[in-house]
Amino acid sequence: MGSRLHVVNEEKEFSSQLSPQLGEWGLSNAGFNYNVVSVFGSQSTGKSTLLNRLFGTTFDVMNESQRRQTTKGIWMCKAKEIPLLVMDVEGTDGRERGEDQDFERKSALFSLAASSVLLINMWEHQVGLYQGANMGLLKTVMEVNFSMFIANSQASFPESKPPKTLLLFVIRDHIGTTPLDNLRSTLTNDIENIWNSVSKPEGLAKADLSDYFDLGFVTLPHKLLQPDEFDHQTSTIRNDYFTKSTSGNYILKPEYHRQIPADGLSHYLQTIWDKVQNNKDLDVPTQQELLAQYRCDEIAAEALKVFHSRLIAVRKPVEVGKFVPELGKVMRDSKKEALDMFDSTAFRYTKTVYEKKREELTETISTTLSPLYINQVKNLHKKAIDSYKKELHARLKSDSYDFSNVVKESSIHHLQTFIDQAKEITLAGTDWSYIETLEQLKVDIDTVSADCRSDELIKLLNQLERSIQKDAGEFVEVSLNNPDAEMWDKVLDRFNALIERSKTSYVTKAKRLNSTDQEIKATTGSLLRRAWISLRNKIEEQCSESILLFRLRTIFEDKFRYDDKGIPRVWRPTDDIEAIYADAREYTLQLLKLYRNIKPQDINNLFTYPQLDDSVLDIIKVSDLEESYNYEESLQVLGEAKEAQLAGRFKKDADAIYVEAKRSVVSSISK
């Protein structure tokens, strides 16, 4: 705490260490809860000694024996135990700086811009010397006070008046023969005279000194001659005037405060010094506004840095399409944190600037969060569709569902979940909206429902087709193995019964899937066509050359080798083998004719092949085969050529059997 800082060095350079030094003094977050005091006065009038006594500071004090000026430039210390910054300014005689009066003026401007209180240190015997060094300086202070604080005051101090300054005269080596009251009136008189001689801006010609300055007077005894009294008096001044207490005359009034938040002080003083150095106009309200902009930007940038770091964890997953459940909270929390962070420091700066910058920050935050929102809404849409699909298929697995109910319940549930979750991430105060996505979701859910329904219909049709295939396979084989005049009636009769059952089962299930009559009619047509094609394939298979040939041979053998009672014949020479052979062969060839066409005895048994209804194509896909199938042609089983070829091959087989029978008779005779 005892450290000090050379704020402006001998080369008139401003220190870069003020900001960290304020941090070390624990003032960075003090806001307005601090003050600045500066001291003025001729050289070697015990200013530094006074400050050290009053505030426990550690400014250099002139060595008694050397008597050389010690304070060069401007130093700063923090008062012990009080949130007060003390500036020790180079003495005003310019003795060692020669004619460099310039620096005095500049340091006066600088001090006035920062300090609530100017301590004017003077010997008692200087009182009344109107031309004294201090008095010239005071005139300067009063003049610049106008240009510095009043110029644009309306713009930047809209609610409060321009700040006041306390000029606290410290009269040193007070002997006591002239009472303080007399000294006060002499000095007050002098100061009024100075005030009157100061040229004032237009409209303020009649301004009172007391509008801008308060005057205070204290005396101190000789430090070396009356050390105890000196000590006593300095601690009284410290306690009475600079320490907040109920009994004292605390002099650091709020109206003296320059309204520079502690965190902006370093930047402010630096700018002020630069202006002063370059002899530029020093217009504090404008400086305050500029400072407000500068600091608000800085504070906002800091807040944004923290803000961005909070989003790192959620940004990537949201971008790659993952639904991040905690996103709403993260967005709200990080936004609040950033604004709180901004507010906690920035609110002390010029209100209009603060409000504007806050709006900008809010806007930046929203712009940053907006893509996260958009992506998350997209993710919600995808999640809703995926989950809806899953749920639909799962619920359709059960045996007893009502499709329209399932769709209704499930879609309401999914739309509501989407709305809830989208609302959750829609930040207040933004124009973000999920309505468009919601509308799209509704459309997509309808598409999913429709797709799911046609999937289920297709599944159903495929299942039925397979079971028709299996059943038809059995009765086709049985019927075709035992050809007779009713062969096709039997096949078709069984077939018609089978598809009647399948149709009933299909219609029941399709109705549960909410199919319209038209849809059912169209898709049932497909079921029937596919059933016929299955049947016809089975017939084709059962009428292949090898199977038919085998079948004819079996029929022939049964007829030729067995008698009417089913007893196997043992050929005797008396048997008319030839006649029996011719008879069996003819019988078999007659049966072969039955396989030519699918032609029932009873015309009613004939299957009615349904024509393709184009509307079916909206619901399911039909195979090319089904689309181009020629029912009439399918009624023909064997072509003429094929039949002739089969008959020929059969005759050869029959001949062989006949020859074999003949031989068996010859051999039995020769034995």
- Closer of 77 and 369 to ligand GDP (Cβ): 77
- Closer of 71 and 411 to Mg ion (Cβ): 71
Tell me how far, at minimum, the Cβ of 62 lies from ligand GDP, in Å: 3
Burial (CB < 10 A; 0-12, 13-18, 19+), residue 178, is middle
Return the range that interacts with Mg ion (CB under 5 A); candidates 43-51, 397-405, 620-628, 654-662: 43-51
Six-digit token pair at 121?
Answer: 């240190």
- Closer of 71 and 454 to Mg ion (Cβ): 71
Burial (CB < 10 A; 0-12, 13-18, 19+), residue 345, is buried
How many of the other CB atoms lie within 10 Å of CB of 443? 9
Tell me how far, at minimum, the Cβ of 51 lies from Mg ion, in Å: 8
Return the range that interacts with Mg ion (CB under 5 A); candidates 70-78, 400-408, 494-502, 585-593: 70-78
Q: Answer with the entry of ligand GDP, Mg ion, none that 105 interacts with (C-beta below 5 to 8 A by kind).
A: none
φ, ψ of residue 279 in degrees (nearest 5) = 55, 35
Measuring CA to CA, which residue among 32, 31, 39, 80 is closest to residue 257?
A: 32
> Does 46 count as an annotated binding residue?
yes
Tell me how far, at minimum, the Cβ of 251 lies from Mg ion, in Å: 23
> Does 352 count as an annotated binding residue?
no
Tell me how far, at minimum, the Cβ of 302 lies from ligand GDP, in Å: 40
Q: Answer with the entry of Mg ion, ligand GDP, none that 43 interacts with (C-beta below 5 to 8 A by kind).
A: ligand GDP
Tell me how far, at minimum, the Cβ of 52 lies from ligand GDP, in Å: 8
The answer to the question of residue 45 lying near Mg ion (CB under 5 A) is no
Q: Which of 15, 35, 45, 48 binds Mg ion (CB under 5 A)?
A: 48
> Does 43 count as an annotated binding residue?
yes
Q: Answer with the entry of ligand GDP, Mg ion, none that 64 interacts with (C-beta below 5 to 8 A by kind).
A: ligand GDP
Measuring CA to CA, which residue among 490, 452, 476, 480 is closest to residue 531?
A: 476
Measuring CA to CA, which residue among 571, 591, 593 is closest to residue 580?
A: 571
The answer to the question of residue 57 lying near Mg ion (CB under 5 A) is no
The answer to the question of residue 454 lying near Mg ion (CB under 5 A) is no
Q: Answer with the entry of ligand GDP, Mg ion, none that 172 interacts with (C-beta below 5 to 8 A by kind).
A: ligand GDP
Distance CA 656, CA 550 (A): 14
- Closer of 21 and 45 to ligand GDP (Cβ): 45
Strand partners, 216: 168
Question: CB within 8 A of 667, min separation 6: which ones?
Answer: none
φ, ψ of residue 46 in degrees (nearest 5) = 80, 25
- Closer of 89 and 314 to ligand GDP (Cβ): 89
- Closer of 97 and 662 to ligand GDP (Cβ): 97
Six-digit token pair at 178?
Answer: 């002239």
CA 460 to centroid of chain Cα atoms: 44
The answer to the question of residue 43 lying near Mg ion (CB under 5 A) is no
Return the range that interacts with Mg ion (CB under 5 A); candidates 44-52, 423-431, 527-535, 663-671: 44-52
Q: Answer with the entry of Mg ion, ligand GDP, none that 45 interacts with (C-beta below 5 to 8 A by kind).
A: ligand GDP
Tell me how far, at minimum, the Cβ of 123 lies from ligand GDP, in Å: 8
The residue length of the chain stands at: 671
> Does 48 count as an annotated binding residue?
yes
Tell me how far, at minimum, the Cβ of 47 lies from Mg ion, in Å: 5
Q: Answer with the entry of ligand GDP, Mg ion, none that 49 interacts with (C-beta below 5 to 8 A by kind).
A: ligand GDP
Pairing of strands 74-78, 84-89: antiparallel
- Closer of 82 and 122 to ligand GDP (Cβ): 122
CA distances from 407 to 393, 410, 421, 590 (A): 11, 5, 21, 60
Six-digit token pair at 659?
Answer: 């020859």
Please give the residue ranges that form the binding site for ligand GDP (CB under 6 A): 43-49, 61-62, 64, 70-71, 91, 172-173, 222-224
| DSSP codes, 580-626 | HHHHHHHHHHHHHHHTSB---SSGGGS--PPPPPGGGGGT----HHH
- Closer of 50 and 151 to ligand GDP (Cβ): 50
Q: Answer with the entry of ligand GDP, Mg ion, none that 456 interacts with (C-beta below 5 to 8 A by kind).
A: none
Six-digit token pair at 82?
Answer: 């009080």
The answer to the question of residue 71 lying near Mg ion (CB under 5 A) is yes
> Does 636 count as an annotated binding residue?
no
Contact 311, 368 (CB under 8 A): yes
Distance CA 498, CA 596 (A): 24
Rg (CA), the chain: 56
Residues annotated within the binding site for GTP are: 41-48
Q: Binding site: which residues?
A: 41-48
Residues near Mg ion (CB under 5 A) are 48, 71
